[in-house]
Amino acid sequence: MPATLPRLDIAVENVSVTYNNARLALYNATCTVEPGTITALVGPNGSGKSTLFKSIMGFLRPSQGQVRVGGLPVPKAQKQQLMAYVPQSDEVDWNFPVSVFDVVMMGRYGYMNLLRMPRAKDRRLVMESLERVGMVQFRDRQIGELSGGQKKRAFLARALAQAGKVILLDEPFTGVDVKTEKGIVDLLLQLRDEGHTILVSTHDLASIATFCDRTILLNRTILAEGNTQETFTKENLELTFGGLPMVSLEHMLPSAEVSS
Amino acid sequence: MSAVIAALPGWDWIVEPLQYGFLVRAIWVSAFVGLVCAVLSCYITLKGWSLMGDAISHAVVPGVVIAYALNIPFAIGAFVFGFGATVAIGYIKSRTRLKEDAVIGIVFTGFFAFGLVLVTKIPSNIDLFHILFGNVLGISQPDIIQTLIAGVITLVVILVRRKDLLLFCFDPNHAKAIGLRTPVMYYTLLLVLALTIVAALQTAGIILVISMLVTPGSIGYLLSDRFDHMLIISVVSSVFSCVMGTYLSYHFDVSTGGSIVVLLTLLFVMAMIFAPKYGILAQEFRQRSPQPLEEDSQKQQVVVDQA
Ligand SMILES: Nc1ncnc2c1ncn2[C@@H]1O[C@H](COP(=O)(O)OP(=O)(O)OP(=O)(O)O)[C@@H](O)[C@H]1O
Ligand SMILES: [Mg+2]
């Protein structure tokens, strides 16, 4: 039952990242993603959201700082299949000759033997995951032959098949229509209720208050974090998106009262 | 050319050369090399490592020369230098701000030039021409054994690790996220690449081997959207070119490596033009008549709505 699942937090401590073009992409970022919550990661383009994701996942080596998941170092957590990652679309080679089914099956490799021979259970979980995102009928499509929203759902299914306790989604809503967005949000809410910890970056400020328990505001460093109600304020958004005319931000706030 | 076509169906044309032991040997060795190269080729083209293959093939030259001078199997020298070059490339890339293509260019020409210096200085009976362009018609028994060992190791490693290697080519981040050791996969792929080049050295030579490593996979990639189909197409076109190329080289007394690669390239050109989905003609045709495409996407839309 969901209640017995161990809930895992993500603790980011003092992480700084410099790419080899010597630009500091992330500076002294410290934040916590509380266990069993949906947390939004918000910041303008180039603020370091993807960089923070990649540091959490261990895809790049921060110049300082450390990340722990459920108290474990990241490589350990990954060996135990605790962490799933849904990449931003531009990180995927969409011309690669693999089908949707193949991609979702890759979520199960960590559970298989050395030869990666899928067992009946793996196939069942792959089909269940495809069903949950409504992609069963596309399972034999080459991944490039999907629409933007379908591509997102295919990779979401891979994360489901992996059954990680912590799921990181980098911009799952870009290029997705309202209906698909709602579908994904509903799924995330279900996953949270099952005890998953979810970190999601998004540019859709208007929808954050509707499903994110917590919000982290980022621009090179962590500017604010906490409950969405307290954190998602006019002042904080101004701080994060500095330079944007306030009018354009105003209508994205859940309600005018929150900020006053 | 018309002589070729007239002769092609001829039974004699196929059978007559088979009475010569050296030719039979050449045919099956090059077919085997064609198989090994074709399998690896699928991974190399998808990973985008063609340039790396080129680098390794040139970097083996000093190894071959030193091996002959020390009287040890050429495959060992070639492998040490070929694989060593990739380690050097990886190291320099991680320690400098240079882009990978620049590092590769520097390292492989450096190794190659060093090999040239050695060839001209160390007294030996190596024919530089054979290193550069292959000499499968004159391949010796020990060379065949070395080719076989290198090729079989490559095939076995790929067979056992094929899923992981494919995942590594497609999405190394996901491989890491599920706790797989990506550095191991990186070096495994480099290792089999170096071994394949060693295996192909006698057939194609270092200049032409890159074609055998890139072209078959590219043909498969143009013709199919599924990896297993891509693999089969790649193997068939490669083995066919190797066998036919050896025949042609015997009948017309031309370079073996040369005719193999010319055949492969012809197959590639045909695939490029006539491939049913990704060929130039098919794309032209689709652009002119976009009707069926729209229908398809409408159908797709309906299905989505039902989901
Ligand atoms: N591979 C890289 N090499 C060099 N610089 C990079 C690299 N990736 C990102 N950067 C730089 O690091 C900064 C943060 O980038 P990042 O991709 O994390 O931003 P982001 O918040 O995800 O943006 P977006 O909303 O556009 O996805 C940017 O200034 C970017 O130019
Ligand atoms: Mg990003």
Residue A42's nearest CA partner among A167, A237, A217, A204 is A217
Q: Decide if A98 is inside a domain.
A: yes
Neighboring chain A residues of B100 at a CB cutoff of 8 Å: none
Sign of the four-CA dihedral B152, B154, B157, B160: negative
Provide the residue type at A76 as one letter: K
- The Cα–Cα gap between A155 and A217 comes to 25
Residue A7 sits in a domain of what CATH number? 3.40.50.300
What pLDDT shows up at residue B1? Answer: 54
**What average pLDDT score do residues A185-207 get?**
93
Checking if the pLDDT of B88 tops 60, the result is yes
User: How many separate domains does chain A show?
Assistant: 2
Which has more confidence, A260 or B119? Answer: B119
CA distances from B223 to A81, B169, B214, B227, B264 (A): 36, 19, 15, 11, 15
| A248 has pLDDT over 90 | no
- Mean pLDDT of the A73-89 span: 94
Cβ–Cβ < 8 Å for B218, B211: no
Least confident of A82-86, B115-119, B223-227, B292-296: B292-296
Least distant ligand from the CA of A44: 1
* A87 lies in some domain: no
- Confidence band for B233, pLDDT divided at 50, 70 and 90: very high
Tell whether A80 is within 8 A of chain B (Cβ).
yes
Local confidence band at A200 (pLDDT 50, 70, 90 cut-offs): very high
Q: Could you identify the atom of ligand 1 that is nearest to the CA of residue A54?
A: 18
List of E strands, A115-175: 166-170
Nearest by CB to A97, from B160, B226, B307: name it.
B226
Q: Which helix (H) or strand (E) covers residue A72, if one does?
A: strand A72-73
To the nearest whole angstrom, how far is the Cα of B111 from the nearest Cα of chain A?
27
Q: Which ligand 1 atom sits closest to the C-alpha of A49?
A: 21
Main-chain dihedrals φ then ψ at residue A12, nearest 5 degrees: -105, 120
Task: Give me the pLDDT at residue B303, please.
Answer: 39
Residue A159 lies in a domain: yes
Query: Is A110 part of a structural domain of the chain?
Result: yes
One domain for residues A198 and A176: yes
Sheet architecture: strand order including A38-42: A83-86, A166-170, A197-201, A38-42, A214-219, A221-227
Return d(Cα A119, Cα A127) in angstroms, integer.
13
Domain residues for the domain of A234 are 1-82+167-260
> Does residue A191 sit in the same domain as residue A117?
no
What percent of chain B clears pLDDT 70, i.e. is strictly above it? Answer: 91
Residues A178 and A194: their CA atoms lie apart, in Å, by 24
A158, A107 Cβ separation under 8 angstroms:
yes
Say whether B174 and A114 touch across the interface (CB within 8 A).
Answer: no
What is the reported pLDDT for A146?
93
**CB within 8 Å: A115 and B221:** no
What distance in Å separates residue B230's CA from the closest CA in chain A?
A: 8
Q: Check whether residue A195 and residue A118 sit in a common domain.
A: no
Element (H, E) at A225: strand A221-227
| Centroid of ligand 2 to alpha carbon of A230 (angstroms) | 25
- Which of A163, A189, A213 is the C-terminal boundary of a domain? A163
C-alpha to C-alpha distance for B170 and A20, rounded to whole angstroms: 24
Q: Which of B97, B164, B173 sits opposite A20 (nearest CB)?
A: B97
Does one domain contain both A256 and A173?
yes
Q: In degrees, to the nearest 5, what angle opens at C-alpha B64 toward C-alphas B60 and B68? A: 170
Residues A225 and A99 in one domain: no
Q: B243 alpha carbon to ligand 1 midpoint, in Å?
A: 50
Tell me what pLDDT residue B8 has: 57
Mean pLDDT of A113-137: 95
- Average pLDDT across chain B, whole number: 89
How far apart CA B40 and CA B46 sit, in angstroms, is: 10
In this predicted structure, the answer to whether residue B44 has a pLDDT above a threshold of 60 is yes
Q: Answer yes or no: do A18 and A72 share one domain.
A: yes
Residues with CB under 5 A from ligand 2 (ion): A 49-50
Give B98 to chain A, closest Cα distance, Å: 10
pLDDT of residue A255: 46
pLDDT computed for residue A21 by the predictor: 72
Token duo for residue A103: 């991609």
| A163, A192, A223 - which closes a domain | A163
Interface contact A135-B46, CB threshold 8 A: no
On whether both A9 and A73 belong to a single domain, the answer is: yes
Answer whether residue B27 shows pLDDT above 50.
yes
- Predicted confidence band at B216 (pLDDT cuts at 50, 70, 90)? very high
Phi, psi of A116 (to 5 degrees): 55, 50
Q: A140-145 — which CB contacts under 8 Å span 24+ positions?
A: A140/A99, A140/A100, A140/A101, A141/A99, A141/A100, A142/A97, A142/A98, A142/A99, A142/B225, A142/B226, A143/A92, A143/A94, A143/A96, A143/A98, A143/A99, A143/A100, A143/A103, A144/A94, A144/A95, A144/A96, A145/B225
Of B97, B176, B229, the CB nearest to A59: B176
Rounded to whole angstroms, the Cα distance separating B136 from A153 reads 51
Q: Is the pLDDT of residue B278 over 50?
A: yes
For B305, name the nearest residue in chain A, comparing CA atoms only: A179
Read off the pLDDT of each residue in A130-134 and give the average, rounded to a whole number: 95
Is residue A249 assigned to a domain?
Answer: yes
Using DSSP's 3-state secondary structure scheme, residue A235 falls into helix
Q: What is the rounded CA–CA span in Å between residue A174 and residue A194?
A: 25
Cβ atoms of B66 and B79 within 8 Å: the answer is no
pLDDT at res. A233: 86
Contact A86, A167 (CB under 8 A): yes
Residues with CB under 6 A from ligand 1: A 19, 21, 23, 25, 43, 45-51
Q: Kindly state the average pLDDT of the residues A21-44.
A: 91
Same domain, A129 and A248: no
Cα angle B170, B174, B180 (rounded to 5 degrees) comes to 105
Which of A111, A141, A163 represents a domain boundary (last residue)?
A163
pLDDT at A57 over 80: yes
Q: What is the per-residue pLDDT for A87?
A: 93
The answer to whether residue A88 sits within a structural domain is: no
Q: What is the pLDDT of residue A232?
A: 86
Q: What is the mean pLDDT of residues B289-304?
A: 46
Same structural domain for residues A151 and A177?
A: no
Are A111 and A240 in the same domain? no
How many angstroms separate the CA atoms of B41 and B154, rounded?
12
Distance CA A207, CA B83 (A): 52
Residues A127 and A173 in one domain: no
Question: A27 and A56: one domain?
Answer: yes
The beta-carbon neighbor of B170 closest among A98, A107, A116 is A98
Sheet holding A64-69, edge to edge: A24-33, A10-18, A64-69, A72-73
Distance A231 CA to ligand 2 centre (A): 21
**Which chain A residues are closer than 8 Å to B173 by Cβ?**
54, 57, 59, 85, 87, 91
**Whether A99 and B230 lie within 8 Å, measured CB to CB:** no
Average pLDDT over residues A54-82: 94
What are the angstrom distances between the C-alpha of A36 and each of A13, A83, A187?
20, 14, 14
Quote the minimal CA–CA distance from A135 to chain B in Å.
8
Question: A30 lies in a domain?
Answer: yes
Q: Which atom of ligand 1 is nearest to the CA of A19?
A: 4
Measured in degrees and rounded to the nearest 5, phi and psi for residue B295 equal: -55, -45
End-to-end CA distance of chain B: 58
Ligand 1 centroid, distance to A171 Cα (angstroms): 13
Domains annotated on chain B, with CATH:
21-288 (1.10.3470.10)
